[in-house]
């Protein structure tokens, strides 16, 4: 039965924004933790750690997110877990975000002048204190604009979770489209909702980047 | 315990390799057409014509702030309602070109704006005509400056192209999905697909370094 595209449908699609946001938040928080570990490994003194982190980044930046999602989704069965779209999407997006944030933050940590590390070492600060009180606070200033930029990419990336059957914004659109067959309106609405989520973040990232650049050139 | 079974994958490796070739072809076409769109977009953006600049701004912002998956759904399912119908393969190419064109426009615009005004004036002083100035004094050095960002965007495009399998356009991911429907060796198939994409990304990256050595090394004599 094909029915009309009504305001209830718009409401259904709009309420699916919640799942896109939840998935993005899980992936971002998980990715922030993983990314920090990757960035610290990438800048550590241990060659094995550096190599491993570099390999992790290369694998996740050199393969499609869609394949990563499928691999985790079917991989759950391999390790004996029940197949669950939310779990698969959360794990895959977390790994994906870890690699990208790890690479962004590695750059930010390396942008802190080495004299800072030397001074902190001369003050006999431990690695932990050096990172926590000297290096990371300064790296954060450099990292924040590209991190917000990546958040936009991550929110858009969550749309692929619809392909493994997780009902977020895009999948809600597909469901409504199957019932009403108004693809122009439905996917137009979905696109506008994504735009409303992403555009302010893009503007914020650009604004912060411009401010950062002015601060450096001054 | 899960039993791995790679037999269906190895038996149908020719199918997957053909799919990989289709992905290479689709990506190369999207890169070339996307580059043209990007250069035109960047020229329009840096031109003095205000409505044109606004139009490019809207295009770039809309594409960069919506997922590729939704764009391809809109183009393949939505546009026929407006009287524009395309086959899956054409829709896939159009969607990829429109997508990479938006990112490319921003990248090349940044490249063009990185060219010092004095360089353009020097070109004029040497008696070059406007077309020559644009080609040799602005575009080529601009492309050299932004070559790394442009090529990593192109590699990202190749990886993103796997999404076109959702509208059954022919590519590597579609070949994998077909094989999966016949054999159900899902994990094994997607593992091999992921490795193939990784090799493709490596191949493109090697190709781009070679192109850079040939075309973009100083002196800029040719």
SS (H, E, C) A162-217: HHHCCCCHHHHHHHHHHHHCCHHHHHHHHHHHHHHHHHHHHHHHHHHHHHHHHHHH
pLDDT value of position B184 = 87
pLDDT value of position B220 = 52
CB neighbours of residue B136 within 10 Å: 15
Instruction: Say whether residue B194 is in contact with chain A using an 8 A CB cutoff.
Output: yes
Q: Which chain A residues in 110-169 lie under 8 Å from chain B, judged by CB atoms?
A: 152, 156-157, 159-160, 162-163
Let me know how long chain A is.
218
Is A205 in contact with A199 (CB distance < 8 Å)?
A: no
Are A65 and B166 an interchain contact pair (Cβ–Cβ within 8 Å)? no
CB neighbours of residue B151 within 10 Å: 19
pLDDT value of position B222 = 47
Is B212 in contact with B220 (CB distance < 8 Å)?
A: no
Of A67, A182, A191, which is closest to B190 when you measure between CB atoms?
Answer: A67
pLDDT value of position B123 = 93
CA distance A177 to B74: 11
Mutate to test the interface with B, among A158, A187, A199 (most CBs of B within 10 A): A187
Per-residue pLDDT at B164 exceeds 50: yes
Three-state DSSP class for B47? coil
Residue A135's Cβ-count burial label (10 Å; 0-12, 13-18, 19+) is buried
Are A187 and B74 an interchain contact pair (Cβ–Cβ within 8 Å)? yes
Segments in chain A below pLDDT 50: none
Pairs from A8-12 (Cβ < 8 Å, separation ≥ 24): A9/A176, A9/A179, A9/A180, A9/A186, A10/A189, A12/A172, A12/A175, A12/A176
Is B142 in contact with B85 (CB distance < 8 Å)?
A: no
Query: What is the DSSP secondary-structure string of A134-145?
Result: IIHHHHHHHHHH
Mutate to test the interface with B, among A2, A20, A24, A63 (most CBs of B within 10 A): A63
Of A59, A71, A162, which is closest to B190 when you measure between CB atoms?
Answer: A71
CA distance B60 to B100: 10
Instruction: Say whether residue B54 is in contact with chain A using an 8 A CB cutoff.
Output: no
CA distance A203 to B53: 18
Reported confidence tier of residue B186, pLDDT bands at 50, 70, 90: very high
CB neighbours of residue A128 within 10 Å: 8
Are A66 and B162 an interchain contact pair (Cβ–Cβ within 8 Å)? yes
Per-residue pLDDT at B132 exceeds 80: yes
Identify the weakest region by mean pLDDT among B44-58, B155-169, B207-221: B207-221
Three-state DSSP class for A98? helix
pLDDT value of position A76 = 92
Instruction: Say whether residue B70 is in contact with chain A using an 8 A CB cutoff.
Output: yes
What does pLDDT average to over chain B?
Answer: 93
For range B159-169, the mean pLDDT: 96
Per-residue pLDDT at B221 exceeds 60: no
pLDDT value of position A47 = 96
Is A184 in contact with B82 (CB distance < 8 Å)?
A: yes
Instruction: Say whether residue A194 is in contact with chain B using an 8 A CB cutoff.
Output: yes
> Nearest-CA distance from A153 to chain B in Å?
8
Contacts of A105 (CB under 8 A, 6+ apart): A35, A36, A38, A39, A139, A143, A147
CA distance A214 to A109: 20
pLDDT value of position A3 = 80
Residue entry with tokens 């749309």: A159
Three-state DSSP class for B179? helix
CB neighbours of residue A136 within 10 Å: 18
CA distance A195 to B158: 24
Residues of B in contact with A189 (CB under 8 A): none
Domains for chain B: give ranges and CATH numbers: 12-215 (1.10.3720.10)
Domains for chain A: give ranges and CATH numbers: 7-217 (1.10.3720.10)
Distance linking the first and last C-alpha atoms of chain B = 62
**Whole-prediction pTM value?**
0.93
Residues of B in contact with A56 (CB under 8 A): none
Instruction: Say whether residue A55 is in contact with chain B using an 8 A CB cutoff.
Output: no
Structure tokens at B62: 């809309």
Of B73, B80, B173, which is closest to A66 when you measure between CB atoms?
Answer: B173
Are A184 and B74 an interchain contact pair (Cβ–Cβ within 8 Å)? yes
Residues of B in contact with A199 (CB under 8 A): 61, 65
Structure tokens at B3: 């039993």
Residue of A nearest to B67 (CA): A156
Residues of B in contact with A68 (CB under 8 A): 194
Are A66 and B191 an interchain contact pair (Cβ–Cβ within 8 Å)? no
CA distance B144 to B216: 6
CA distance B19 to A67: 15
Are A77 and B187 an interchain contact pair (Cβ–Cβ within 8 Å)? yes
Residues of A in contact with B70 (CB under 8 A): 159, 170, 173, 187, 190-191, 194
CA distance B168 to B102: 24
Compute φ and ψ for A112, nearest 5 degrees. -75, 125
Helices (H), B114-138: 117-125, 130-132
Residues of B in contact with A63 (CB under 8 A): 159, 194, 197-198, 201
Residue entry with tokens 């701004």: B57
């Amino acid at each position: 039965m094909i029915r009309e595209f009504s305001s209830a449908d718009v409401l259904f699609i709009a309420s699916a924004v919640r799942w896109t946001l939840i998935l993005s938040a899980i992936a971002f928080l998980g990715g922030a933790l993983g990314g920090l570990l990757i960035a610290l490994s990438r800048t550590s003194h241990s060659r094995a750690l550096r190599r491993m982190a570099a390999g992790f980044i290369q694998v996740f930046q050199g393969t499609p997110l869609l394949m990563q999602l499928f691999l985790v989704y079917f991989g759950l069965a391999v390790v004996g877990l029940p197949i669950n779209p939310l779990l698969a999407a959360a794990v895959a997006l977390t790994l994906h975000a870890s690699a990208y944030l790890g690479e962004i933050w590695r750059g930010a940590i390396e942008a802190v002048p080495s004299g800072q590390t030397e001074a902190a070492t001369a003050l006999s600060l431990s690695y932990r204190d050096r990172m926590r009180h000297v290096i990371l606070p300064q790296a954060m200033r450099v990292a924040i604009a590209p991190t917000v930029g990546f958040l936009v990419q991550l929110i858009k990336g969550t749309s692929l979770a619809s392909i493994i059957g997780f009902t977020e914004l895009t999948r809600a659109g597909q469901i409504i489209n199957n019932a009403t067959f108004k693809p122009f309106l439905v996917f137009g609405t979905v696109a506008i909702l994504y735009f409303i989520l992403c555009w302010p973040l893009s503007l914020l990232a650009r604004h912060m980047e411009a401010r950062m650049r002015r601060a450096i050139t001054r | 315990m899960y039993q791995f079974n790679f037999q269906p994958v190895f038996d149908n490796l020719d199918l997957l390799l053909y799919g990989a070739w289709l992905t290479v072809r689709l990506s190369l076409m999207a890169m070339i057409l996307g580059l043209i769109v990007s250069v035109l977009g960047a020229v329009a953006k840096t031109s003095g014509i205000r409505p044109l600049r606004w139009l490019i701004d809207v295009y770039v912002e809309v594409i960069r702030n919506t997922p590729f998956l939704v764009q391809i759904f809109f183009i393949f399912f939505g546009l026929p309602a407006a009287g524009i119908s395309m086959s899956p393969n054409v829709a896939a190419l159009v969607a990829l070109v429109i997508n990479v064109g938006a990112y490319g426009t921003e990248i090349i615009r940044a490249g063009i704006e990185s060219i010092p005004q004095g360089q353009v004036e020097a070109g004029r002083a040497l008696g070059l005509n406007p077309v020559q100035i644009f080609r040799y004094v602005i575009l080529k050095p601009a492309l050299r400056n932004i070559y790394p960002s442009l090529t990593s965007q192109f590699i990202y495009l190749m990886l993103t192209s796997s999404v076109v399998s959702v509208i059954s356009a022919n590519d590597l991911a579609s070949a994998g999905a077909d094989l999966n429907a016949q054999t159900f060796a899902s994990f094994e198939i997607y593992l091999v697909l992921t490795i193939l994409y990784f090799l493709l990304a490596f191949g493109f990256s090697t190709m781009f370094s070679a192109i850079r050595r040939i075309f973009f090394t100083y002196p800029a004599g040719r």
